[in-house]
Every structure is written in structure tokens, then in C-alpha cells.
Amino acid sequence: MIHPSLIDSARRIKLDYTKTERELNQYMIEVAKLGEDFSTSSEQVSSLAIDIKKKKLPADKVKNELLQVLIGLEDKYKLLLDKINKINQDLENLRKQENEPYDIIKSKYPSLSDEQIKKEVLEKVNI
């Protein structure tokens, strides 16, 4: 009953959501990796602290190594943050796009209840 172009819009939005969800799952793996990187960096900093106490390394060398560890972590963090911000923006856009077909369906088919709209769209989108 609902016009096929509106169903196609809903299908496209669903595919976009699925793609975004896969990206989000991938980023969750990267967040876990970043946690491991923080742990490794913490170990490196601890090692540097031991070397300082034992006076094995000059202060300038320790400072440079520490800065490299911190800069590396910051770079990874910023890269991941950019990806997360992109996902958040994509999700926000999809939320807005999701309402457009619904509003059109509601105005073109005022006799359909929300439940009927949902049922018909889901049946045709999940083919």
C-alpha cells in the first residue's frame, strides 16, 4: 500500500544504519587497542622512571622519550576521536533522514496507524 519510493528510502536508511553500525563496531575494536596502547605506554613510563632512579639515563633523554610516548598516544587518541565524531554525525544525520519518510507516509496515508506503518515498512525493508 505504501508507495515503493518511500519503502526504498527506508531501505536505504536501514542500509546506512547497518554500515554505520559496522563502522562503530570496528571503532570499538580500535578503542580496545588504544587501551592496550595506553597500558604499553604506562609500562614504558614506568621503565623510564626506574631508569631515572637508577640514573641510567640523562634527564634530557628521558624527557624526549617521555614526550614521544605521550605524543604517540595523543595522535592515536585524536585519530580515534575524529572517527567517533564522524560516526556521531552520521548517526545524527540518519536520525533526521529517518523522520522524513515517516512524515511523508503519515501525511499521504493518514488512515494508517503508526503500528500499521511500522509493520508494512519493516516487512518490505527486511525482504
DSSP three-state, residue 1: coil
User: What does the pLDDT look like over 83-117, one tens digit per residue?
Assistant: 889 988 998 999 888 888 889 999 999 999 999 99
Q: Residue 62 pLDDT more than 70? A: yes
Distance CA 117, CA 1 (A): 10
- Cβ-in-10-Å burial (0-12, 13-18, 19+) of 6 comes to buried
Mapping DSSP onto H, E and C, the string for the chain reads CCCHHHHHHHHHHHHHHHHHHHHHHHHHHHHHHHHHHHHHHHHHHHHHHHHHHCCCCCHHHHHHHHHHHHHHHHHHHHHHHHHHHHHHHHHHHHHHHHHHHHHHHHHHCCCCCHHHHHHHHHHHHCC
- The total domain count for the chain is 1
Q: Give residue 86's identity as a one-letter amino acid code.
A: K
Mean pLDDT of all residues in 46-69: 82
Residue 31 C-alpha cell reads as 578503542
- Stated pTM of the model: 0.66
Phi, psi (degrees; rounded to nearest 5) at 126: -90, 15
The pLDDT score that the predictor gives to residue 127 is 59
The residue segments making up the domain with residue 107 are 4-125
